[in-house]
Amino acid sequence: MPGLLEFDRNCLMVLRRSLLAVAPFEGCALLLGDQDDSNSDKGCSIWNVRLIWPCCNVWEPGMSSLPEGSLDPNLGAELLPSRKCRFALDPREQLQAQRFAREHNWQVLGSAHSHPGGEAVPSVMDHRWAILPSLLVIVAGSGNVRAWWMTGVQPGQQHEVAHLGQW
């Protein structure tokens, strides 16, 4: 688990622009970079995001065995599944990103996606679909970016790594 998450100079701009460009649909990307564990004994592992790898949102109804409907806690209503509230990374893009990362002595640190009509907080579906443990960065429609360390499948069991504020 990272103690600190850092983004290279232009990564936040690329992240925001690429994920929000597909609104009203959710955008998605992979986060490539490296880990500095030199201070891990002090709990200060630093994860450096060096590159944003934008991906196509290939989600479509029925692609998972997970339940499709979800409750919107703000509205108390069942959301109809669509790319407006779901995302899936293209497996081919994931493989290309992994190859690229290895060639640069990096790794895939985690994933990012947007909530164009919501907040930068993991949704019920984000919890259901998360591969654990994992780093999840969410960009709200307002541009707010937050990073989460996902450790559990139930809401409330995530650990916020860094609140990156209003960039």
| CATH architecture, domain 4-61+71-163 | 3-Layer(aba) Sandwich (3.40)
pLDDT, tens digit, for every residue of 45-86? 889 999 999 999 998 877 665 555 554 454 344 456 788 888
Q: Residue 157's pLDDT is what? A: 57
Q: What predicted TM-score, i.e. pTM, was given to this entire model?
A: 0.83
Helices (H), 68-152: 91-103, 124-129
pLDDT, tens digit, for every residue of 96-145? 999 999 999 999 999 999 999 999 998 888 887 788 788 999 999 999 99
Q: Residue 74's pLDDT is what? A: 44
Q: How many whole angstroms separate alpha carbon 151 and alpha carbon 17?
A: 28
Give me the sign of the Cα torsion angle 164, 165, 166, 167: negative
Using omega within 30 degrees of 0 as the cis cutoff, is the peptide bond preceding 155 cis?
no
Q: Residue 110's pLDDT is what? A: 95
